[in-house]
Every structure is written in C-alpha cells, then in structure tokens.
Amino acid sequence: MTIQTHTPADVPAKNKQNAAVADAPIRDKGKDGRGATTVADGVVAKIAGIAIQEIPGVHALGGGAARAIGNLREKVGQKDLTQGVNVEVGQTQVAVDVTLVVEYPHPLQEVADNARDAVYTAIEDLVGMEVTEVNVTITDIHVPSEDSEADDADREPRVS
C-alpha cells in the first residue's frame, strides 16, 4: 500500500517544463490540488428529489404524465427519484425547478417554502455547490378521499 505524504504542489519539479507547470496557479483542482470533482446533473436532481419527498404535505413529484409513467415504473420496482425535478448545474452553481402535488389541506405556500428550504440545504450540504434559485410549481392537490374509493368495496356497510 502506498501512502502519499506530499501533495503535488510539495513535490519538486524534475525539469524546466514541470517547473513552469508547478508554479502555475491550480484552478478547479479541488481543495488540495489533487484533482477535480464533477457531479452529474442526475445526482443533483436525485438529491433534490429525496429531500423534497421528506417534506410533510408533499404527495408526489411531477405533473400528471410524469406521475403516470412513475406509477408504471414503481410497479416494476424502479422508482424514479428525479421525477418532477429539473436542474441546471454550472461550475459552482445550481438552479432547480420542481413540480409537485400537495396533499390537502396543507397550506400550499408553506409546503413550497419547506420544499425550497430542503433543496437548498441538501444541495449545499451534500454537493457543496451554491443554489441560485429553486422554482416550485404546484400542479395539483391530492384529496385523500380520491384514493379511498377503491377501499370502499372492501369495507363493510355502515347500515343494513
């Protein structure tokens, strides 16, 4: 096993060409100059999606068509954590657009603000990039009674 005791900046140059490179400022090479880190857009979107799903009042991510496709994917065991999340990743900054469905009777603005805060915190803490904006679009409200219609067939009648 090899243990590196010096960073590349500490190692003396072996010839004149390396000396010029060693004296040049290191840019975008990480904190210690040992290499750059690139985070894919999909990773940032997945982190945002996971953060939003934990917010009380968020029923689902994505619009109608995205949710329909998401339901099909879930039935075959592949949940899409990036559904309803679009990101633009730059060198040091991220912009996020989120589409979600809110559960009734949660206050819409409160859910949107909590989702926005969760995305800011998750991306800045886990990815280490600055979030410039998080745009939240609420496309629907989920009313719990809509789902209970399927359960009504299994229930015993209240009156005879």
- Mind giving me the DSSP string for 35-85? ------HHHHHHHHHHHHHTSTTEEEES-HHHHHHHHHHHHTT---TTTTE
Task: Specify the pLDDT at position 11.
Answer: 43
Would you tell me the crossing angle of helices 108-122 and 41-53 to the nearest 10 degrees? 140
Tens-digit pLDDT string for the chain (160 aa): 334 344 444 444 444 444 444 444 334 566 778 888 889 999 999 999 999 999 999 999 987 655 455 555 555 666 678 999 999 999 899 999 999 999 999 999 999 999 999 999 999 999 999 999 999 999 999 998 755 555 555 666 666 5
pTM: 0.66
